[in-house]
């Protein structure tokens, strides 16, 4: 096996806030290496030890207290909870953070500083290296070659919210697929996963008391072209939320209201404005369905659903959609939102809504999510001036369902083609007049699934654009540089291959 080259200290995505290499302080991983941690640091240290075991073949025990590689929680409320400091010296490695979440961020950096991704060894050692048939020999070879670059990384995010959305309504993805996707996105310090759970073509979350939602609209024949059946039971959803928490990913559930509700109305015709049953829809049209703002059953239904989702979700957010309600009059939209927005607060959550929601008076904690192409802002600047935080998701930069270029086999193109550079070379604080740095909660990259059929399709659209957008949300603005990102992305080809992650070999990158 060729000796893997040592990584440079700054060869990380997203780029850390501060990188100070010290070439005299490289750390060679020895066969007796261990990972030391106590208390809150223990769980993250266990994960690092497991990664190092895969990478080296050494036993890498996790011990309490002092060890060549140490993880420490040092409480400091003045720092971002995601702050971490990684010190690599000839004697060892110390990772410090004010919280376990910060340590987790630091471990993602650590993982990228290993010469090859540990998943390679985990996936199929024999295929990766014939010598691995003898694990001891393989470990000795590999370990002799693993040296971490010396120096200090001190890091914290620019924005607290770095998210991506996956549309489960137009095509459903299994809990296993979603867990795998969470594992991949967390490596880029994406810390929110927004689940678009309901739309015209499907309803993907079991709601007690309303069983037909999933029996009818989560069954066979649902999704775009009828090609994406399935739903999450309440238990599966809760398990997924708990799994995401182990990766420090917060689930943001979306129930899209008052439009995008044909699947709900198919299951319960009393939810249509005129009580007339609707037909099942598997096409990609938008804007034709609406709940009625003046039927009481609308609010009984919505409150049951939002209460159920809030109870299943420990995170602070509840996304209520609000987009493309073209069949709802402006008056009805206002009436509807004035009754539904307070329900989020009633069940202990902050409401997020697509930016159309900013046309109405919002509760103080509500967060508009901006998705348009053109600068017309739909009231978002007014909301920002009133003190609301905003999530930036401009479609022409962050929509992962847009084609990369005209040759992309999947995706849509209504917001144009979004190449990798285009997804990177913009800044959220410049996007909307009146919505500056201090109004931004963060950045999210949505992935609508009309044209997608599998996890491999999802990965193809997300990688490498999602890491680029993760860097937009995490790294200091002044440090960002497209040529630097291109070089760093190129190194991910063998890493993603080792992890079994599909990606688009964009010609914008000179892949390794």
Q: Give start and end residues of each alpha helix (H) in 207-356.
A: 212-217, 234-246, 262-267, 296-312, 330-346
Asked whether 360 and 388 are in contact (CB, 8 A), the reply is no
Q: Which is nearer to ligand TNX, 465 or 495 (CB)?
A: 465
265 and 271 in contact (C-beta within 8 Å)?
Answer: yes
323 binds ligand TNX (CB under 6 A): yes
Q: Does 254 bind ligand TNX (CB under 6 A)?
A: no
Q: Which residues between 413 and 442 bind ligand TNX (CB under 6 A)?
A: none
Residue 448 in the binding site for ligand TNX (CB under 6 A): yes
Question: Considering CB under 6 A, how many residues would be counted as binding ligand TNX?
Answer: 10
Q: How far apart are CA 169 and CA 449, in angstroms?
A: 8
Q: How far is the CB of 64 from ligand TNX (least distance, A)?
A: 49
Binder among 27, 354, 370, 463 for ligand TNX (CB under 6 A): 354
Full DSSP string of 291-329: --TT-HHHHHHHHHHHHHHHHH--SSEEEEE----TTS-
What count of Cα atoms within 13 Å lies in the side-chain half-sphere of residue 289? 28
Whichever of 74 and 413 has its CB closer to ligand TNX, that residue is 413
90 burial level (CB within 10 Å; 0-12, 13-18, 19+) = exposed
| Least distance between ligand TNX and beta carbon 398 (Å) | 11
Q: Is 117 in the site for ligand TNX (CB under 6 A)?
A: no
Minimal distance in Å, beta carbon 91 to ligand TNX?
52
Check residue 20 and report its DSSP letter.
E
Element (H, E) at 161: strand 161-167
Q: Is 219 exposed, middle or buried (0-12, 13-18, 19+ CB in 10 A)?
A: middle
Q: Is 286 in the site for ligand TNX (CB under 6 A)?
A: yes
Cα separation, 267 vs 212, whole angstroms: 5
Q: Alpha helices, DSSP H only, in 371-481? A: 380-385, 395-398, 420-424, 455-462, 465-474
Residue 333 CA, chain-centre distance (Å), reads 30
Question: CB of residue 292 vs ligand TNX: minimum separation in angstroms?
Answer: 21
Active-site amino acid positions: 324
Q: Any contact of residue 238 with ligand TNX (CB under 6 A)?
A: no
Is the Cβ of residue 75 or residue 374 nearer to ligand TNX in the bound state? 374
> Residue 333 interacts with ligand TNX (CB under 6 A)?
no
Which residue number, 203 or 448, has a Cβ lying nearer to ligand TNX?
A: 448
Identify whether the C-beta of residue 175 lies closer than 8 Å to the C-beta of residue 232. yes
CB 413, min distance to ligand TNX, A: 9
C-beta closer to ligand TNX: residue 249 or 402 = 402
- One of 11, 154, 304, 324 touching ligand TNX (CB under 6 A): 324
377 binds ligand TNX (CB under 6 A): no
Cα–Cα nearest to 115, from 179, 38, 26: 26
172 touches ligand TNX by CB under 6 A: no
| Nearer of residues 145 and 401 to ligand TNX, judged by Cβ | 401
Task: Using CB under 6 A, pick the residue from 401, 457, 471, 491 that binds ligand TNX.
Answer: 401
Nearer to ligand TNX, 189 or 465 (CB): 465
Least spacing, CB of residue 371 vs ligand TNX, in Å: 5
Q: Which of 6, 17, 63, 412 is in the footprint of ligand TNX by CB under 6 A?
A: 412
Question: Would you count residue 371 as binding ligand TNX (CB under 6 A)?
Answer: yes
Residue 261 CA to its chain's centroid (Å): 25
Binding site for ligand TNX (CB under 6 A): 286, 323-324, 354, 371, 399, 401, 412, 448, 450
């Amino acid at each position: 096996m060729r000796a893997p080259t040592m990584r440079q200290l700054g060869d990380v995505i997203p780029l850390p806030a501060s990188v100070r290499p010290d070439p005299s302080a490289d750390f060679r991983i020895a066969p007796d290496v261990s990972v030391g941690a106590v208390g809150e640091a223990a769980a993250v240290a266990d994960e690092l030890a497991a990664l190092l075991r895969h990478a080296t073949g050494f036993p890498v025990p996790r011990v309490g207290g002092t060890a060549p590689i140490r993880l420490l929680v040092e409480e400091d409320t003045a720092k971002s909870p995601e702050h971490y400091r990684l010190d690599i010296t000839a004697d060892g490695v110390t990772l410090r953070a004010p919280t376990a979440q910060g340590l987790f961020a630091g471990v993602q950096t650590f993982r990228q500083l290993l010469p090859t991704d540990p998943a390679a060894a985990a996936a199929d050692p024999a295929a990766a290296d014939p010598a691995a048939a003898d694990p001891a020999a393989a470990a000795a070879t590999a370990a002799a070659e693993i040296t971490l670059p010396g120096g200090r990384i001190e890091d914290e995010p620019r924005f607290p919210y770095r998210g991506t959305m996956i549309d489960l309504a137009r095509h459903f993805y299994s809990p296993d697929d979603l867990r795998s996707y969470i594992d991949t996105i967390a490596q880029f310090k994406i810390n929110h996963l927004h689940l678009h759970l309901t739309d015209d073509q499907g309803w993907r979350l079991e709601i007690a008391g309303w069983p037909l939602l999933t029996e009818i609209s989560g069954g066979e024949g649902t999704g775009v072209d009828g090609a994406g059946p399935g739903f999450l039971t309440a238990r599966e959803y809760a398990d997924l939320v708990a799994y995401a928490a182990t990766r420090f990913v917060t689930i943001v559930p979306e129930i899209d209201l008052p439009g995008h509700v044909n699947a709900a109305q198919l299951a319960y015709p009393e939810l249509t404005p005129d009580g007339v049953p609707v037909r099942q829809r598997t096409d990609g049209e938008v804007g034709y369905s609406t709940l009625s703002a003046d039927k009481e059953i609308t609010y009984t239904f919505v409150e049951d659903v939002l209460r159920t989702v809030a109870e299943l979700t420990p995170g602070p957010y509840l996304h209520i959609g609000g987009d493309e309600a073209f069949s709802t009059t402006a008056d009805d939209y206002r009436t509807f939102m004035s009754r539904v927005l307070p329900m989020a607060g009633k069940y202990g959550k902050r409401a997020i809504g697509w930016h159309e929601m900013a046309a109405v008076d919002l509760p103080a904690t509500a967060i508009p999510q901006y998705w348009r192409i053109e600068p017309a802002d739909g009231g978002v600047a007014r909301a920002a001036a009133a003190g609301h935080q905003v999530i930036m998701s401009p479609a022409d930069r962050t929509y992962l369902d847009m084609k990369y270029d005209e040759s992309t086999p999947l995706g849509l193109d209504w917001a144009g083609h979004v190449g990798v550079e285009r997804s990177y070379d913009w800044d959220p604080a410049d996007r909307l007049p009146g919505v500056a740095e201090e109004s931004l909660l963060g950045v999210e990259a949505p992935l609508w699934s009309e044209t997608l059929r599998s996890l491999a399709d999802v990965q193809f659209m997300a990688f490498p654009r999602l890491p680029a957008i993760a860097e937009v949300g995490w790294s200091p603005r002044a440090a960002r540089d497209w040529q630097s990102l291109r070089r760093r992305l190129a190194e991910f080809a063998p890493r993603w291959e080792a992890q079994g992650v599909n990606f688009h070999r964009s010609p914008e990158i000179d892949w390794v």
